[in-house]
Structure 1
Amino acid sequence: MDDIVKQAMTKWPNVPACYGWLGLDARGNWWLRDAAAQAAGSFASGVPGAKGSRVEHVKLAEFIARNYLHDARGCWYFQNGPQQVFVELEATPWIWRVQMQAREIRIHSHTGSELAPAEVQKVLVDEDGAVYMAVSMGLGMVHTQDVLDVSAALDAGLLPAPEEVRRNALPHCYGFISSPAQLASTGS
């Protein structure tokens, strides 16, 4: 977490949390969701306009990534100064980028963190063919552009054999909340 964020949290300790205004898509992009986007539907609904506006400013995206955390409930948020801005997840809390070169695999998260291949505990494939990797940091979906590299890594024996999983079981099995806004609206 950035030092300036820690200082703001100390200076203003009781700022209310923000729900529904930030999303993370299945390709690792951040989305700002104004009132119109939220009114159009849930972030993961696929309804035109419901995602909002993609964060294009590189420094803002990097700031969000550096201050991306989760609470005890499994809700992921961006600590924006003293305020927690909860993140609506299209898929999983992490999006993995995977590159296979020769007999070596490199794995990065959407936030830029690099993982050692040995950290991959499971490779999962859902009913639609989406690929996930469970690591010590949590569960992440493999970016669609990198599925062939994961296949090559599996063939080379660099990753554990894939297991089948139901997509709707992932939040419960891996302890994350896809829609903190929906959880907040029910008072949980």
Structure 2
Amino acid sequence: MDEWVERALARFPNVPALFGWLGLDRRGHWLIQGERISHARIVETIARNYGVDDHGRWFFQNGPQRGYIALEYTPLIASVQADDTLMAHTGRAIESVSALYLDEDSTAVLDTPDGAALVQGADLAWVLDRLRADDSDKEIDDQALSNALAVPSGTQTDLTLVVGNDRLPVYRCDRADIPATLGFVQAPEPRDGENSN
């Protein structure tokens, strides 16, 4: 968080939280009342002061006020960089991944220490190039992917995702189950006793 945010929090610790105004779409664009925020300095400020509370609700800490973010899908959006590394929409590197989740539409979500990260549609080739069946070192075929997508939600598939020297588990998980499975809230609401606007 920015230093000015921490100073404001210390000075005004009980400012009511804001719900229902801010959002994040599945392309990594910040939204205010459904409209894309395009001003570069505002986008950068939100990204630097973006975090998650103990209940899995993601927010932008705007000085002393916390603005909770409605998520179209996941709290982070991952893109593949020119050097083949992953970057979150916030500009932070995604340095490790523990698993891959595939939803019913073949959408790929990475489980990372920083939060669930949706792989941008244009970068799905990065995932497909790294999927392996069983202990094979060969890329999977369409049938292996279809078989993985056919298993019930919550099931570990026969596929693995190769990232560096690691072979990571691949799970099938319905989109509706992803938030609970990966520990985040898509539509944050005030909790009992919380001060909010």
Q: TM-score, normalised by structure 1?
A: 0.80
The aligned amino acid for 1:109 is A
Structure 1 residue 115 displacement after superposition: 2.1
CA distance in 2, matches of 1:87, 1:151: 30
CA deviation profile, 1:112-140 (whole Å, cap 9, x unmatched):
11123xx1111111001111100111211
The aligned amino acid for 1:58 is A
1:171 matched residue in structure 2: 179
More helix per residue: 1
CA distance in 1, matches of 2:37, 2:31: 5
User: Matches of residues 133-144 of structure 1 in structure 2 within 5 Å?
Assistant: 133-144=110-121
Matched, 1:112 2:109: no
Give the conservation status (yes or no) of the 8 Å contact 1:99–1:149.
no
Structure 1 residue 87 displacement after superposition: 0.2
Structure 1 residue 171 displacement after superposition: 1.1
Q: Which runs of 5+ in 1 are unaligned?
A: 34-51
Question: What is the SS of the residue equivalent to 1:160?
Answer: strand
Structure 1 residue 186 displacement after superposition: 8.2
User: Matches of residues 80-159 of structure 1 in structure 2 within 5 Å?
Assistant: 80-99=62-81, 105-116=84-95, 119-154=96-131, 155=139, 157-158=162-163
Give the conservation status (yes or no) of the 8 Å contact 1:31–1:53.
yes
The aligned amino acid for 1:55 is I
Give the conservation status (yes or no) of the 8 Å contact 1:24–1:88.
yes
Give the conservation status (yes or no) of the 8 Å contact 1:100–1:153.
no
2:42 to 36, 60, 75: 60
CA RMSD of aligned residues (A): 2.0
The aligned amino acid for 2:11 is K
Q: TM-score, normalised by structure 2?
A: 0.76
1:24 matched residue in structure 2: 24
2:61 matched residue in structure 1: 79
Structure 1 stretches of 4+ with a deviation exceeding 6 A read 185-188
Q: Which runs of 5+ in 2 are unaligned?
A: 132-138, 140-160
CA deviation profile, 1:41-92 (whole Å, cap 9, x unmatched):
xxxxxxxxxxx21010111001000000111111110000000000000001
Structure 1 residue 145 displacement after superposition: 1.3
Structure 2 CA distance for partners of 1:161 and 1:99, relative to 1, 3 Å: farther
CA distance in 2, matches of 1:100, 1:128: 26
Structure index of larger Rg: 2
